[in-house]
Amino acid sequence: MIWRRILIYALLFVAVACFLACSSGIKAVKHFQYQPDGWDMFRDNPAGVADSNISLRNINALIWSRKSKGQIYASPVINDGLGVIPALDRRIYLFDPATGDGIGKIKMNSSSSSSPALAENLLYVASEAGDGRLRCINITRGMEVWAMELGDVSAPIILHDRTLFVGNYGGDFYSINRFTGDVNWTHRTGGLIRGGAAVADGRVYVGSTDGYLYCLDIDSGDVAWKFRAESAIFTTPALSNLCFVTTFDGLLFALDPASGDEVWRFQTEGNVFSSPVADGEAVYFGSNDGNLYSLSSRDGFVLWRFQTESIVTATPLVSSDAVVIGSSDANVYFIDKGTGREFFSYTTSSRIESSPVYYDGMVFIASADRHLYCFGQSGTAMSARIAP
């Protein structure tokens, strides 16, 4: 009798596990082996620092493009021949970065514009209103590990060691154990949180539409300091020698990361929804005045500005020798980092709000025309769906 009950419970457990996996439409990617050189989160690292080890100056062609069923505003993550990108059609697409061919897809209960994160074989994805969950998915086993109610999220998920950092539209900022889904601590702001966090030296920096940039202790969530900006913050800060943050009214602030004191500021002629990227010598960001800016990190002096034909809300990709940015004029621009001059561009069919990423000598960027584009040294343009 006892053995019969054990058998029944075991069968029920297997059935529930199968149901959860199948209901989420998760396909196991058994060949995947995590590599340390992948692009694993928004801006590739929790500080928002440019990667000086990559070169983009030789990129001159479209390699492939693939069409999804929904518009894409998030940025992909890519590691060991596996790319992952959310779309507004309630799907997370898995693709081969070399060819763009679809590997599979994960069905969600609502759309996702939050850039995901990837660590080892665990994928972290968040959804917007209608579902409002943060999910941890084991991609090699094709199973959901855990899920938690988080509310409406469009902010990128930031990884740091064993912890996830993410905020929601309710103004709550979370520190979460990435293995268990347990909440370490939360901090309530007075506005929406649309941007991600920057993490360095035991502190976490996050902005809110209440007009404050918060500096929090990484272990407790206690406020070390908060800086009152001139207006709402929709973006993710960057940390190098200083803490850089952009604001809705067109300002970029450079702050002392230890005290929060203002070191200098720079005013653009448009609203700013573009998150900065820093490399120690300069800081790069776009503005709704149509410019991509390169400013001296030391004093905010304009090293160069590159004019596009429309607003720039995307976050740039910065390498050792180039800067890549998408614009609402539908173009992807490849710009020499030293001179600010364009050396290659490509025109898509709609505005670009997604931020470019780098992997294995190629640059990937999504357009509102529902296509994901891959650029490299040479190639032949192709057009097909990412997944059926």
Query: Side chain identity at 174, as an amino acid letter?
Result: Y
Asked whether residue 144 carries a pLDDT value surpassing 80, the answer given is: yes
Domain ranges for the chain, please list them: 2-385
Query: Around Cβ 364, how many Cβ atoms within 10 Å?
Result: 25
Round to whole Å and give the CA distance between 31 and 25: 18
Q: What is the pLDDT of residue 328?
A: 98
Domain 2-385 bears CATH identifier 2.130.10.10 = yes
| pLDDT 10s digits, 74-97 | 899 999 999 999 888 888 899 999
List, in order, residues 6 or more apart from 296 with CB less than 8 Å away.
Answer: 281, 282, 302, 303
Cβ(89)–Cβ(69) below 8 Å:
yes
Q: Are strands 133-138 and 143-149 parallel, antiparallel or unpaired?
A: antiparallel
Query: Side chain identity at 357, as an amino acid letter?
Result: V
Percent of the chain with pLDDT over 90: 75
Q: What is the pLDDT of residue 87?
A: 87
Report residue 145: phi and psi, to 5°: -85, -45
Q: What is the pLDDT of residue 129?
A: 66
Residue given tokens 């200083």 in the structure block: 242
List, in order, residues 6 or more apart from 303 with CB less than 8 Å away.
Answer: 282, 294, 295, 296, 340
Band (379; pLDDT cuts 50, 70, 90): low
Q: What is the pLDDT of residue 387?
A: 44
Cβ(317)–Cβ(39) below 8 Å:
no
Burial, 123: exposed, middle or buried (Cβ in 10 Å; 0-12, 13-18, 19+)? buried
